[in-house]
Amino acid sequence: MTAPVLELNDLSRVFARRDGWLDRMLNRAGLGKPPERLVAVDGVSLSLRDGEMLGVVGESGCGKSTLGRMAAQLLPASGGEVRFRGRAISDLPRSEARDARRNIQMVFQNPYASLNPSLSVGDAIMEAPLTHGLVRRREIPDRLASLLSKVGLSPEMADRFPHELSGGQRQRVGIARALAVSPEVIIFDEAVAALDVSVQAQILNLLADLKEQGGFSSIFISHDLNVVRFISDRIAILYLGRLVELADRDTVFARPHHPYTRALLSEVPVLGAARRRFTPLKGELPSPLSPPPGCHFHPRCPFAQEICRRESPRLREVQEAGGTTHLSACHFDLPQPSPEAGPTPPPHPKEDSHDT
Ligand code: SF4
């Protein structure tokens, strides 16, 4: 069986607050406190299939961008591994690791900040292919024209500079720059979040067209479930650094299992069967510096029981007809509410949880 193009295995990232001079003095005197640790990503495992677009959703601060940066090798992991085509990138010889990194590109939220203001559009797009020896100088004009056309820009744009472009044009340049090295994976990190709604729609349509044309798999990171719905094949939901639900898009919208996913859905305008009375999110996202014990979601969960405050639920398979893989990290099997019904108390805890 062919290995997934990208696998994130038990990936974690912990940030430790750096001590200031006062902390260092207190530490030396034995009066210091242990350094604060922020667990941004906590043991997330995901795999990306060939040609698919995997949506990763969660509130700001849930660790989704950190996860994307680790996947793109822009940030080292504190634990776990990233595998490209079945091989851990950290174990690859230098030249193969470089090739793997070239194959995983990232498009960022702020296209202006991610473009060098002193480079023309053409230079910005062709810089990486030249560095990697993927194109000869005499091939540049044709290659550039082809990339610009692919993202809906005219060849004349090649001589412009970032400050001369609109937000949507800059994001198109960012996408062309990622495509320029013919990557197998592109990670879009809140790639439309900074754009006006009408421009958002244009960029989403562009991404849908590029996906249709094939040639790469992608992870689409967003705080907006509605945006992710438009473009993703499967959806992963993160909460305070943990993966809490994973299923194909239609399953997430038709039969969401985790109360957090249901709360997110309560804020999304949806049609038909999915328009049910889910309980909206209450309260603020707890600080990742001191996440609640047990199930991190329990202070905001309308179904929380005593066990939720003590035990962290493991990701387990939810029964779905037709062999669809649906994973959820909740102790309970919660019935889907009818359009009229309010929240239903949970039945008995499930015992057959397992890792994936
Ligand atoms: Fe809510 Fe408990 Fe399920 Fe967590 S484990 S989502 S607190 S019911």
From 309, 341, 250, select the one nearest 331 (Cα to Cα).
309
Q: Are strands 79-84 and 87-88 parallel, antiparallel or unpaired?
A: antiparallel
Q: What confidence tier does 18 reach under pLDDT thresholds 50, 70, 90? A: low
Q: Are strands 185-189 and 53-57 parallel, antiparallel or unpaired?
A: unpaired
Q: What is the DSSP string of 197-227?
A: HHHHHHHHHHHHHHHHH-S-EEEEEES-HHH
CA of 42 to the centre of ligand 1 (A): 17
Q: Which two tokens stand for residue 321?
A: 């007809």
CA of 339 to the centre of ligand 1 (A): 22
DSSP letter at 321?
G
d(CA 158, CA 144): 8
d(CA 152, CA 144): 12
CA of 313 to the centre of ligand 1 (A): 8
d(CA 330, CA 297): 10
74-83, 150-159, 163-172, 329-338: which range is least confident on average?
A: 329-338
Whole-number Cα distances in Å, 35 to 32, 75, 76, 240, 282:
9, 21, 20, 20, 30
169-183 per-position pLDDT tens digit: 999 999 999 999 999
Q: What confidence tier does 270 reach under pLDDT thresholds 50, 70, 90? A: low
- Provide the pLDDT for residue 82: 98
The atom number, within ligand 1, closest to the CA of 244 reads 6
- Provide the pLDDT for residue 266: 85
Which pTM does this prediction carry?
0.88
- Using CA positions, which residue lies closest to atom 3 of ligand 1? 330
pLDDT at 4 over 80: yes
Whole-number Cα distances in Å, 301 to 203, 238, 279:
35, 15, 9
- Provide the pLDDT for residue 305: 95
- Provide the pLDDT for residue 271: 55
- Mean pLDDT throughout 38-65? 95
pLDDT at 130 over 60: yes
- Provide the pLDDT for residue 16: 85
Ligand 1 neighbours, Cβ below 6 Å, are 258-259, 295, 297-298, 301, 303-304, 308, 313, 330-332, 346
